[in-house]
Structure 1
Amino acid sequence: MTSKLNTFQKVRELNGWHAVAFAATLTERMKPNFQLFCESSEFDDEGQFHKSLESVWQWLSRTGAKINFALQLEKIEDVTPDSADFDSYGVYPAIDAAISLAAIMSLITNDEPQGAVIVSKLSQGSVEAFVELVSDESLSSQEIKEHPLMQWEVAFQTELLAQINSMPEGAASVKTLREMAKSEGVSNIGIEITSA
């Protein structure tokens, strides 16, 4: 539990560009969970999740493009699935990914200064729920913590935190972070990354 608390504390200390970049990298890593849900349940968000996440990366690249994040937030809220409408487990990681993206928008607009912490917790929460789902028996919090997927999630966030503070703002760092999010070829819960 200590490593989790340390992670959240360190995330809480991130500011501005670095907080958004941290949250965007975790959300990029959750994106396949949203995509798989859309494909398997015929939920059509018309590519809105992808477009909105791209607008965050564009903002992080410091291109000077004018992006209306209040509008982007509305669009993401419109395509956040409702668990009551679906009976498949996949809706839950998809909701976590969508809420993460909404938290980034609110972080950029200064409406939610703890947006990066929210994303950090949602990403770990997705893994925790998935570990419990695939287990044959109920697990203690210690057993969940020791599960390889949870260990990998905490290690990824720790590594990301170690690198992010020294990163300069701009396109070169964005490229590095996006590659880092996709480097394992799978999402935070092991869903294969099939497209960009």
Structure 2
Amino acid sequence: MIEDRRDFFQRLRQLDSRRQQAFMAALCERLQPNYMLFAENSGDGNPTGLRAILDLVWERLAVKEAHIDFDRQADKLAELEPAAGDDSFGARRALDAVVALSALLDTLRGDAPDAVFEVSRVSRGGVRAFIELTEGEDDAERLGELVRRHPLMADELDFQEAVLEAVEGPFDRESLKALRRLGRNEGVSNLGLSAD
């Protein structure tokens, strides 16, 4: 399994920057429902604002010449973070969505070579935290094994592999639309939750 992960990260590293950005955008799509659920349940946050920023990312991926002020978008995104004092599980998963999108914006604003790994890690980390919360295992070794074997983690790894395979293939407007649909995952987040 570890060798498979090394191969996965090597393949991610070999992608050109636009394909890495498309990979991150698909993962950000899948994190969106967590933010939406947090906003619905807490009254905090702005899912429409987050959606608008991610839509601009997809526009830039589809039209390289699109002139979008991603510095301004990064400022807007910072305002969408959950309140600093909110340490609830929902707020932390909503923050994951913001952090992942922020890392993606960093690549559009300049050089951020490790952003693609950060977004992959943030998405996996949220799944791990959800498993820890729902399974209630205190023993670290047993918990580690539980996380590795958990269907949600298997789904997360399979999803990231499917996205990577997609961005390694043809890269045109139609394939970007298909990638976006894949990322939306029929409205189901990486935690298996839906805002519908």
Same fold (TM over 0.5): yes
One-letter amino acid of the counterpart of residue 32, structure 2: K
Quick one: distance in 2 between partners of 1:92 and 1:4?
25
The share of aligned pairs that are identical, in percent, is 34
Q: Which runs of 5+ in 1 are unaligned?
A: none
Quick one: distance in 2 between partners of 1:21 and 1:182?
13
Q: Which aligned pairs between 1:159-174 and structure 2 lie closer than 5 A?
A: 159-169=162-172, 171-174=173-176
Quick one: distance in 2 between partners of 1:145 and 1:151?
8
Taking structure 2 as the reference length, the TM-score comes to: 0.90
Match of 1:92 in 2: 92
Moved more, 67-76 or 6-15: 6-15
Q: Which aligned pairs between 1:24-35 and structure 2 lie closer than 5 A?
A: 24-35=25-36
Alpha-carbon spacing, 1:46–1:128, altered in 2? closer, same or farther (3 Å): closer
Match of 2:178 in 1: 176
> 2:137, 2:143 within 8 Å by CA — same for their partners in 1?
no
Q: Provide, for residues 57-93 of structure 1, a one-character-per-residue CA deviation record: whole Å limited to 9, x for no partner.
A: 11011163210011111111121124x4225310111
> 2:124, 2:153 within 8 Å by CA — same for their partners in 1?
yes
One-letter amino acid of the counterpart of residue 49, structure 1: L
> 1:33, 1:191 within 8 Å by CA — same for their partners in 2?
yes
Q: Provide, for residues 32-81 of structure 1, a one-character-per-residue CA deviation record: whole Å limited to 9, x for no partner.
A: 00111111110132722111101101101116321001111111112112
Match of 2:66 in 1: 65
RMSD of the TM alignment (CA)?
Answer: 1.8
One-letter amino acid of the counterpart of residue 127, structure 1: V
Find out whether 1:154 has 2:157 as its counterpart: yes
Quick one: distance in 1 between partners of 2:97 and 2:121?
11
Match of 2:144 in 1: 141
Quick one: distance in 2 between partners of 1:127 and 1:89?
12
Q: Provide, for residues 86-108 of structure 1, a one-character-per-residue CA deviation record: whole Å limited to 9, x for no partner.
A: 25310111111100000001011
> 2:132, 2:143 within 8 Å by CA — same for their partners in 1?
no
Taking structure 1 as the reference length, the TM-score comes to: 0.90
1:90 counterpart SS class: helix
